[in-house]
Amino acid sequence: MTKVLATGGDELVLAWVWAHFGVVCTKVDMAIAVMDGRDMVAAAIFQAHSGPDIELSYYGPKTMTLGTVKGLAKIAVDHFNVSRITVRTARNNRIITDGVEKLGFVFEGVRHHAYGDGDAMMYGLFGHNLARLAGKVMQ
């Protein structure tokens, strides 16, 4: 079945993230459920919107598809009017670090001890790479 992005239920999505991953998300701008039929299989959280930039967190191992990423990029550009998306992931999460680079995210640095003893790898998506994923034409 095709995955669908669903908005409008921030509290339910955040409760799902807590129940499945033990993570409390604060200062949330929008929580998005990734649905496979009637089942929530993942969640995307937009937070720390600062005008041109927004941070994106994704919870749901082995559920991210190119269509999901394109949908999230479109929401970021259309709803939040951003020119970049920032993501971070654990240094040892090679699936995500390899995947975001293939999508056009640029490695921007390391936040040491961002996850307690673990470091976070920081990536940004902007310019033509963001526009391409969001289905926009840059002028």
Q: Give pLDDT tens digits for 95-130.
A: 888 889 999 999 999 999 988 888 999 999 999 999
Q: How many residues does the chain have?
A: 139
What domains sit in the chain, N to C, each tagged with a CATH number? 3-134 (3.40.630.30)
- The pLDDT, as a whole number, for residue 137 is 75
pLDDT in tens, 83-97: 999 999 988 888 888
pLDDT in tens, 24-60: 988 899 999 999 999 999 999 999 999 999 999 999 9
Residue bearing the bigger pLDDT, 61 or 81 = 81
- The pLDDT, as a whole number, for residue 1 is 54
Contacts of 115 (CB under 8 A, 6+ apart): 90
Single-letter amino acid, residue 58: Y
Question: DSSP string of 69-98?
Answer: HHHHHHHHHHHH--SEEEEEEETT-HHHHH
Longest dimension (CA), the chain: 44
